[in-house]
């Protein structure tokens, strides 16, 4: 039998430095880019969230000041309403006194006022009837002219 001798090529058994560098570059650069992208995204997200939180805090403070102003306005309006209510009660009691006085002194005047109102109503109704009769006469005259 013949012996087969294998000769080892030193370049084939060990990867060369250049291949290691190429492998390092082919994996390293994308990894660095990926790490940079993730880090930049995280930084941008935290900055955006901080900005939004600051804006929300400003809006909250503005709303609180508006609510305080509204509460003060409501309190002032309630005080004014109480004052007006007291004046209204005073006026109502004064009106009741005046009505009592008028009812006492006006019984005799009421009878004459009622008579005047009744006569005025009768005159108004008679005037309406008279107008209706005048219209009817005009219609009859026009109908007679047509024939």
Name, in order, each residue with C-beta under 8 angstroms of 140's C-beta and a sequence gap of 6 or more: none
Q: How far apart are CA 80 and CA 86, in angstroms?
A: 10
For the ranges 8-17, 30-39, 103-112, 133-142, which has the lowest average pLDDT?
Answer: 8-17
- In this prediction, residue 131 has a pLDDT band, given cuts at 50, 70 and 90, of confident
Distances in Å between the Cα of 42 and the Cα atoms of 18, 47, 49 are 35, 9, 11
User: What sections of 14-106 are H helices per DSSP?
Assistant: 17-105
Distances in Å between the Cα of 2 and the Cα atoms of 5, 8, 46, 123 are 9, 18, 73, 154
Compute the CA torsion angle 83, 85, 91, 96 (nearest 10 deg). Answer: -150
Q: How far apart are CA 129 and CA 133, in angstroms?
A: 6
From the list 6, 27, 24, 7, the residue with the least C-alpha distance to 15 is: 24
For position 119, what pLDDT does the model report?
78
Kindly report the CA angle at 146 between 143 and 147, in degrees rounded to 5?
Answer: 95
Q: What is the mean pLDDT of the chain?
A: 79
What confidence tens digit (pLDDT) does each residue in 77-123 have? 888 888 888 887 788 777 777 767 667 766 555 567 777 787 788 88
Q: How far apart are CA 81 and CA 83, in angstroms?
A: 5
User: With 0-12 CB in 10 A as exposed, 13-18 as middle and 19+ as buried, what is 11?
Assistant: exposed
């Amino acid at each position: 039998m013949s012996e087969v001798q294998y000769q080892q090529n030193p370049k084939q058994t060990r990867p060369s430095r250049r291949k290691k560098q190429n492998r390092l570059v082919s994996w390293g650069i994308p990894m660095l880019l990926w790490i940079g992208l993730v880090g930049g995204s995280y930084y941008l997200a935290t900055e955006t969230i901080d900005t939004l939180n600051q804006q929300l805090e400003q809006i909250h403070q503005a709303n609180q000041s508006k609510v305080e102003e509204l509460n003060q306005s409501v309190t002032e309006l309630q005080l004014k309403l109480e004052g007006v209510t007291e004046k209204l009660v005073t006026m109502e009691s004064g009106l009741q006194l005046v009505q009592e006085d008028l009812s006492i002194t006006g019984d005799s005047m009421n009878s004459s006022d009622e008579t005047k109102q009744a006569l005025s109503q009768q005159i108004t109704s008679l005037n309406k009837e008279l107008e209706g009769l005048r219209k009817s006469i005009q219609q009859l005259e026009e109908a007679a002219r047509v024939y």
